[in-house]
Amino acid sequence: MEKIWLKEYPKGVPAEINPDAYASLKAIFDDSCQRYAPLTAYSNLGGSLSYAELEQKSRAFGAWLQKAAGLNKGDRVAIMMPNLLQYPVALFGILRCGMVAVNVNPLYTARELEHQLRDSGARAIVLVENFAATLQEALTQVDLKFVVTTQIGDLLPFPKRSLVNFVIKRVKKMVPAWHIPGAVNLHAVLTQGAQHELEEVKVGHEDIAFLQYTGGTTGVAKGAVLTHRNMVANVLQASAWLGTYLEEGKETIITALPLYHIFSLTANCLTFMKIGGHNVLITNPRDMPGFVKELAKVKFTGITGVNTLFNGLLHTAGFAKLDFSGLKIALGGGMAVQRAVASKWRQVTGVTLVEAYGLTETAPAACINPLDLKEFNGSIGLPIPSTDISIRDDEGNELKIGEVGELCFKGPQVMRGYWNRPDETAKVLSADGWLRTGDMGRMDARGYVYIVDRKKDMILVSGFNVYPNEVEDVMMMHPGVLEVAAVGVEDEHSGEVVKIFVVRKDPKLTVQELKEYAHKELTGYKRPRYIEFRNELPKSNVGKILRRELRDAERKKQQH
């Protein structure tokens, strides 16, 4: 496909980046710690780490992995924790040793955790002790050599450290009883590690940086193999896109999505580390009133999130009164940003909510909208530097501008493949490096890309394609709706019909009212046949609405 999108690039953004500018993430980290030593790198729960302190603590953690644990370059080390200061310490310690970071969702069940540890062949894990009971259950089936535990407040200054740990353990009773023989706590690890020298390891482009697990919603989770070159490329692509807008050493980004998720990992943790930014880590963004209180304490210049997070903030008391005078960028990804949410966001903050698009398999950014957008445009943006796009039909033929097909990407950020799964890799990655995303989309004449929907989520009504995103977008515009999800349910006459699940903003809202609204706004086959009110919708760990769970529940109902 001709790169028509390059004409739309913001001023100063290059067509290509040089992924060879840095040998590894380790090289970027070393450079930033030197250049920004006195600046705050991460803060959380009233504690903070400067770049110099992060360098020192991650060095101690890395030295412990090498000398005390006896692990080697290429060994896999799992991290299982929410957003805490301990996360970057562990992460950069692992990467500096040339070891492979395996991010684990702390909300995993023992079965899911066991699968990921066994599949990755992790030799060690560092986790918050709130989840140690789950690990204890999983350990019966896993050959794990070292367990490092930490408490939520461990890297906070005294006496706050003791107070936070006491409240979480004794008052809120958030730590189920656990017993893992041989487990060591992070304090002991850092003290011991500081007594050793960190052995310098040569880390290069083809070395693996992450096994980033994905696809758990469609079956057994697979580990996307992301090399240092993949990650460096995406950090440089994102930096090039943001570069004309942001100043090195002067930005403060709100990091509410979990760092174990690829969006937050690359966009916040790594990209802002490269430019000497300050990551404000939010441990529990689901506590919206608490989240807003944290936002009130800091003059932030950027925030990333998913649609439900932005929507949640907009409906939380006190958010509209915050100081947005420093805010430069609000970046939405992970799921479609809805027009109603973007419009309200602009109204409240004065800043356009800019949509981006990516996948775990693209480390993750593939398309981003220009940051100087005057208003929400419903697009996922333009392919970023050094990224090619092709929109193809089911036979693999490239389609014309404006035609809807599967989005395929090629670029230095595309994963090497799935860990030990050549069969699964072959399904999505062609021999010449094109990644099939499973997302349906189109490109307009200026090069802007529009997601129509997930291939798997498409609803087929009497032979017509209905895209849930469109139905949800329209129904969200009704003032009485807080959240909505659309799925297809079986129907003997038309194959499938649309059903929507609605969380009400207005408790008086009726099914009849919504049906009348849909009649006015949607053509016949797109209108919801069934409407069900719910108190909440099922969501993933990052707040993405899980249509699959709703669909599965409907199928079970119909079978009975």
- Residues 172-182 have pLDDT tens digits of 999 999 999 99
Residue 416 lies in a domain: no
What is the distance of C-alpha 252 from the center of its chain?
Answer: 18
Residue 184 lies in a domain: yes
Q: What is the CATH number of the domain that holds 480?
A: 3.30.300.30
Q: Is pLDDT of 215 > 80? A: no
Strands (E), 310-468: 329-332, 353-358, 365-368, 382-383, 388-392, 405-410, 417-418, 435-443, 449-454, 459-461, 464-466
Query: For the chain, what is the domain count?
Result: 2
d(CA 414, CA 237): 12
Residue 290 lies in a domain: no
Mean pLDDT across 418-444: 95
Of 203, 232, 257, the domain-final residue: 203
Residue 277 lies in a domain: no
Q: Is pLDDT of 241 > 80? A: yes
Residue 529 lies in a domain: yes
Tokens standing for residue 331: 């970046």
d(CA 546, CA 539): 5
Residue 267 lies in a domain: no
What is the residue-averaged pLDDT of the chain? Answer: 95
Tokens standing for residue 330: 């609000």
When pLDDT is cut at 50, 70 and 90, the band that residue 221 belongs to is confident
Per residue in 93-131, pLDDT (tens digit) is: 999 999 999 999 998 888 889 999 999 999 999 999 999
d(CA 255, CA 542): 12
Which residue range(s) make up the domain with 471? 458-559
Residue 417 lies in a domain: no
Of 178, 203, 228, the domain-final residue: 203
Per residue in 296-347, pLDDT (tens digit) is: 999 999 999 999 899 999 999 999 999 999 999 999 998 789 999 999 999 9
Q: What is the CATH number of the domain that holds 87?
A: 3.40.50.980
Residues 6+ apart with CB under 8 A from 156: 45, 46, 47, 85, 164
Residue 397 DSSP label: P
Of 203, 219, 237, the domain-final residue: 203
User: Looking at residue 214, what is its pLDDT?
Assistant: 87
When pLDDT is cut at 50, 70 and 90, the band that residue 216 belongs to is very low
Residue 478 lies in a domain: yes
User: Looking at residue 219, what is its pLDDT?
Assistant: 55
User: Looking at residue 244, what is its pLDDT?
Assistant: 80
